[in-house]
Amino acid sequence: MSKNKTGYPDLHDHLAELKRRGLLQVIDRPIDKDSELHPLVRWQFVGGMDEAERKAFLFTNIVNAQGRKYPFQVVVGALAANREIYSVGMGSSVEEIQSRWDRAISHPIAPRMVNNAECQEVIIEGADLLGEGRGLDMLPIPVSTPGFDSAPTLTATNVITVDPETGVQNMGTYRCALKAPDRLVVRMATRVGGAGGYLHYQAWKKAGHKTMPCVIVLGCPPYVAFMGPQKLPIGMDEFDVAGGLAGVAIEVTKAHSLDLRVPAQAEIVIEGLIDLEFLEPEAPFGESHGHVALEEFNLPMKVTAITHRLKPVIPSYLSQVAPSESSVIKRVAYEPLFLAHLRTSLGIRGVKKVSLHEPLTGLLRVTIITFEKNTPKTEIWRALYGAAFFKGDCGKICIAVNEDIDPDNADALLWAMAYRMNPVIDVRTLDHRGQGHGPKREAEGEEDSTLLMDATMKGDMPPLALPTQEYMERSKVIWEELGLPKLRPQSPWFGYSLGDWLPQWDASALRAATGRYLENGLISEKQQRNDVKAESKFRPDEI
């Protein structure tokens, strides 16, 4: 990937690389940011397309319902429309991502302060923040869920706050609803334990302050942008970890009106003061748990300055019902964490991978653990319990399966549960679970519960009743030669052995598939008996 003089790519470099790889769709026709932009991109998530076919969408001609034209461009899906796009931003393969994170956290590199930063090429403050078409109202921020959302909302944010005592900054991704050209409302997630920014909010309030400085950054270099959604230990500065990812110090500069450090190559920086006395209703807004978040009181912020590059590109996340850009970001980051926890921290044998179910459930409710065949029952149950309690908002339903089950195929999961699970023995429920992130809030105190299921094979079973791979592949060639509709094979698409199968049956199947079934009839005729009942089992290896 091309890099600027810093030694790491900024958003413009990243978009150029996506375009080079055929992963960027440029839309030049006029698009209404409030009613058309997000729905257009949404189609690649709900239109039956494979994940690999998804792209980032760059909109160059943005208008609103009144016909107002906006001078800036908007990109959606640039960080994680699919896993390949995420890996481009990380500068590695998908398989290497977790090791990259591990190294970055273990070997952070402190940022480097610079002056004359690109993010401050244009500075807007004072009277220029007021009035229609000015301040926040000059930015083409999309409405994420037209028909439900009450405001254009910043989604692809890196929100920076600072601990008033330690001086350590925190960077989180929080939604921010536009309210006026110089005012917005920030929703800092108040999950159990508190998000980093919300902990800072509480600390500033406890110290007796009236306002808290806050910066909302749009369009960070990818290594920095990935810091917002990633879960790091409380108190760890995300700029240090971003430097670890990049292998060089991230360039930062002092915000124009606040004593906070911001990424020098950011596209847009919104600076302001969060009110510590008053709260303001915010939402409805379509949330990542797949339901519309209804109105709640959240944190109003008065804008003190907006700075930006000369030709900024504004990123926006596609969130709401999964799969979405935000769910891909989380999935790529979370699944290796679960696997490392079970394999390394708990030392469980036989675990091959962990998959967080994405469509509709959004990773937070259903966890599938894949095991080697014949893994001891003790290890299966240790893993189910370990996954259920590893992360408070994940693992409400945990399912153990074997390697032949595609965890992304709900039909395959139901098949495993239907034929490999005895509910009396293989299902357990646990009480005293918090609600976690969802339409029911943990803050309201209502408890949930956990469901654990062992849907692994308990012994050898007959093969899956589909033609074997050789014959399915041969017929697929004919299908394509005939110009029939494009196939999207769904696993399982060919039959395979599940252990209960004999070489003699392989031989008889080969004879049948090569037009020699009469030979099988001659063989079975010699095996007739008059001392057995109908449907008595017969195994040619026991003759």
- In tens, the pLDDT along 230-245 reads 767 667 788 999 999 9
Find all residues with CB under 8 Å of 94, minimum gap 6, and list them: 83, 84, 86, 87, 332
**Confidence grade of residue 86 (pLDDT, cut at 50, 70, 90):** very high
- Whole-number Å distance between alpha carbons of 68 and 142: 14
- Whole-number Å distance between alpha carbons of 229 and 364: 14
The pLDDT score that the predictor gives to residue 32 is: 96
The pLDDT score that the predictor gives to residue 234 is: 66
The total of other beta-carbon atoms located within 10 Å of residue 234's CB is: 13
Report the candidate in 406, 372, 366, 402 with the shortest Cα–Cα distance to residue 489.
406
- Whole-number Å distance between alpha carbons of 192 and 236: 19
**Confidence grade of residue 85 (pLDDT, cut at 50, 70, 90):** very high
Please report the beta strands in 229-284, taking only residues with DSSP state E, as ranges in sequence order: 251-254, 261-263, 268-275, 280-282
- Whole-number Å distance between alpha carbons of 152 and 130: 17
Q: What's the mean pLDDT in 191-213?
A: 88
pTM exceeding 0.85: yes
The answer to whether residue 10 scores a pLDDT higher than 90 is: yes
- Is 496 strand, coil or helix? coil
The pLDDT score that the predictor gives to residue 423 is: 97
The CA–CA distances, whole Å, from 121 to 288, 347, 358, 415, 470 equal: 34, 52, 40, 58, 62
Query: Judging by beta carbons within 10 Å of its beta carbon (0-12, 13-18, 19+), is residue 520 exposed, middle or buried?
Result: middle
Give tens-digit pLDDT for 122-148.
999 999 999 999 999 999 999 999 999
| Domain limits, the chain | 95-311, 346-454, 469-542
The pLDDT score that the predictor gives to residue 251 is: 98
The pLDDT score that the predictor gives to residue 542 is: 83
CA dihedral 284, 288, 291, 292 (to 10 degrees): 10
Domain 95-311 indexed as CATH 1.10.287.620? no
The total of other beta-carbon atoms located within 10 Å of residue 493's CB is: 14
The answer to whether residue 2 scores a pLDDT higher than 70 is: no
The pLDDT score that the predictor gives to residue 190 is: 60
The pLDDT score that the predictor gives to residue 185 is: 97
* The domains spanning 95-311 and 346-454 adopt the same CATH topology: no
The answer to whether residue 40 scores a pLDDT higher than 70 is: yes
Give tens-digit pLDDT for 270-304.
999 999 999 999 999 988 777 888 999 999 999 99
Report the candidate in 96, 93, 329, 356 with the shortest Cα–Cα distance to residue 228.
329
The pLDDT score that the predictor gives to residue 194 is: 62
For 346-454, the fitting CATH number among 3.60.10.10, 3.90.1150.10, 3.40.220.10, 3.40.1670.10 is 3.40.1670.10
Find all residues with CB under 8 Å of 77, minimum gap 6, and list them: 41, 44, 54, 55, 56, 57, 85, 318, 325
Query: Judging by beta carbons within 10 Å of its beta carbon (0-12, 13-18, 19+), is residue 307 exposed, middle or buried?
Result: buried
- Whole-number Å distance between alpha carbons of 252 and 171: 13
Half-sphere exposure for 389 (CA within 13 Å, toward CB)? 9
The pLDDT score that the predictor gives to residue 437 is: 66
- Is 58 strand, coil or helix? strand
Find all residues with CB under 8 Å of 387, minimum gap 6, and list them: 338, 341, 342, 354, 367, 369, 394, 395, 398
The pLDDT score that the predictor gives to residue 433 is: 83
The answer to whether residue 310 scores a pLDDT higher than 90 is: yes
- Determine what percent of the chain is predicted with pLDDT higher than 70: 95
